[in-house]
């Protein structure tokens, strides 16, 4: 296994766009399991893996979750079976700070934390503009919740990127990915021998 790149960011920082672009570049996305009901336009195995509370409890009690959290009465977690320790692929997870800490504790230096940030004014504009009829109360609630949730996260992650242009952030992350990959012996000999 190479690395697990954990993307963290406050609401409307652009982390989902960055996740999609990184997946297109070859990182394997870890898809969370959740007990919440599927929303319109969501697909199982794409947005989340939807399971019952009992199934989630079984995963948790069997030690199969790399991380788990409860949010608004629903449970979320990443099943460790998604990671093949013999695979040489890099993995990608969009995650909140509590989950990041859990994965970091279990996998140590195999985890790279990347915090995506943007000025609050821009985040608010993005949050309001991405929906036809935005729920302003929900936008405000998320922003207030993010203040505590992400407090001092800059001190815990490996990299911080300001997300004015997602494609630039993705290119910078891919440079990090390439630096962290073990050297292919054939490529080494082709370049240096």
* Residue indicated by tokens 């195999």: 110
Residue 132 has pLDDT above 80, yes or no: no
Are 153 and 78 in a shared domain? no
Is residue 140 within 8 A of residue 155, CB to CB? The reply is no
Q: What percentage of residues in the chain have a pLDDT greater than 70?
A: 93
Q: Per the domain annotation, does 123 fall within a domain?
A: yes
pLDDT at 187: 52
In a domain? residue 189: no
Residues 8 and 98 in one domain: yes
pLDDT at 162: 96
Please give the pLDDT value at position 1: 60
180 pLDDT higher than 80 = yes
* Number of folded domains that form the chain: 2
* Residue 190 neighbours by CB distance under 10 Å: 9
Half-sphere exposure of 173 (CA within 13 A, CB side): 35
The pLDDT of residue 141? 82
C-beta of residue 78 within 8 angstroms of C-beta of residue 29: no
Question: What is residue 192's predicted lDDT score, i.e. its pLDDT?
Answer: 47
Mean pLDDT throughout 156-182? 94
**CB-based burial label for 27 (10 Å; 0-12, 13-18, 19+):** buried
Confidence of residue 66 (pLDDT cuts 50, 70, 90): very high
pLDDT digits (tens, 9 = 90+) for 72-124: 789 999 999 999 877 778 999 999 999 999 999 999 999 999 999 999 888 88
Which residue range(s) make up the domain with 43? 31-82
Claim to verify: residue 132 and residue 173 sit in the same structural domain: yes
Task: Indicate whether 4 and 48 sit together in one domain.
Answer: no
- Highest mean pLDDT pick, 102-106, 125-129, 137-141: 102-106
Q: What is the CATH number of the domain that holds 62?
A: 3.30.63.10
């Amino acid at each position: 296994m190479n690395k697990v790149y954990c993307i963290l960011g406050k609401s409307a920082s652009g982390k989902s766009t960055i996740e999609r672009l990184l997946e297109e570049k070859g990182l394997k996305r870890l898809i969370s399991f959740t007990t919440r009901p599927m929303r319109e336009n969501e697909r199982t195995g794409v947005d989340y893996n939807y399971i019952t509370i009992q199934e989630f409890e079984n995963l948790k009690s069997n030690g199969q979750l790399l991380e788990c959290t409860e949010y608004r009465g629903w449970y979320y977690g990443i099943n460790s079976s998604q990671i093949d320790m013999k695979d040489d692929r890099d993995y990608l997870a969009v995650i909140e700070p509590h989950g990041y800490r859990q994965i970091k504790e279990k996998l140590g230096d195999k985890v790279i934390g990347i915090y995506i940030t943007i000025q609050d004014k821009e985040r608010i504009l993005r949050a309001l503009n991405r929906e036809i009829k935005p729920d302003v109360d929900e936008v405000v609630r998320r922003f207030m919740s993010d203040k505590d949730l992400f407090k001092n996260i800059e001190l815990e992650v490996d990299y911080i990127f300001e997300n004015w242009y997602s494609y630039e952030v993705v290119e910078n992350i891919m440079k990090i990915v390439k630096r962290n990959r073990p050297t292919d012996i054939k490529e080494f000999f082709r370049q240096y021998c």
